[in-house]
Amino acid sequence: MSFRLNVLAIDQPFDGRSSQFGTVLFRCYLSQTRPSCKAQSKSQAQIDSFELSEDTALMSIASTDKITGRCYCGSITFRSASKPLTVAYCHCEDCRRATGGPVAAFAAFDDDAITFEPNEGKNVTVNPGVTRSFCDNCGSSLAGRYEYLPNQIYISIGVIDQAADLAPVVHAHEANRLTWLHIVDDLERLDATATTKLNAT
Ligand SMILES: [Zn+2]
Ligand SMILES: [Zn+2]
């Protein structure tokens, strides 16, 4: 049975810790709707068997409460009065293409927490339900919003001034990682975890 994880976000509320990881999964798996992406449909059984790593879940998200940033040309700036909900790598093709890098990384915030000046730039929707924003002068990838994640905004880590303080806590869509890209860490790698658990049952 084909199943998109974002449905889970609606049906099953998460506690504070697991919601961080649920968020990562949900947004990442949206890329499955694109024919150009390697679809990895998850069955309900796979989803049910997915469990969070305690070590990863307990990692600190961020130590800073004040977030600021700007696009490449500086014509758009933004700030947040609160620290991120989570910070994550995403290896999916959709995020790579939107950001232009070999892997994307994002900090998630409550949408209300982010203020752009003078505005958020140009909104672009390629996949239904996903709106990404870019500076309309220099093209920097600023943010993404997802209909199934109401009231959240994902800011590209590279445009955040405090990026050095916002270490990702998880790799999403590990299966789509470019094979020549090697990031050495002990973070949870979500696709591999789900697959392993399925094979074990
Ligand atoms: Zn992605
Ligand atoms: Zn710009």
Instruction: Give pLDDT tens digits for 138-190.
Output: 999 999 998 877 899 999 999 999 999 999 999 999 999 999 999 999 999 99
Instruction: Give pLDDT tens digits for 42-101.
Output: 433 333 333 333 333 334 444 557 899 999 999 999 999 899 999 999 999 999 999 999
| Total domains present in the chain | 1
1 belongs to a structural domain: no
Ligand nearest to the CA of 159: 2
Residue 142: give its domain's CATH number.
2.170.150.70
Residue 34 burial class via C-beta count within 10 angstroms: exposed 0-12, middle 13-18, buried 19 and up: middle
Ligand nearest to the CA of 146: 1
Task: Tell me what the mean pLDDT of segment 112-133 comes to.
Answer: 96
How far, in Å, is the centroid of ligand 1 from the Cα of 104? 7
Whether the Cβ atoms of residue 98 and residue 75 lie closer than 8 Å to each other: no
- In sequence order, which residues have a C-beta less than 8 Å from that of residue 80 and are 6 or more positions away? 66, 67, 68, 109, 113, 114, 115
Ligand nearest to the CA of 127: 1
Tell me the residues surrounding ligand 2 (ion) with CB < 5 Å: 71, 73, 75, 135, 137-138
Instruction: Give pLDDT tens digits for 21-47.
Output: 333 333 333 333 333 333 333 433 333
49 belongs to a structural domain: yes
State residue 64's pLDDT score.
58
pTM flag (> 0.85): no
Bridge partner residues of 144 (DSSP): 132, 154
Q: Give residue 66's domain range.
A: 6-200
54 belongs to a structural domain: yes
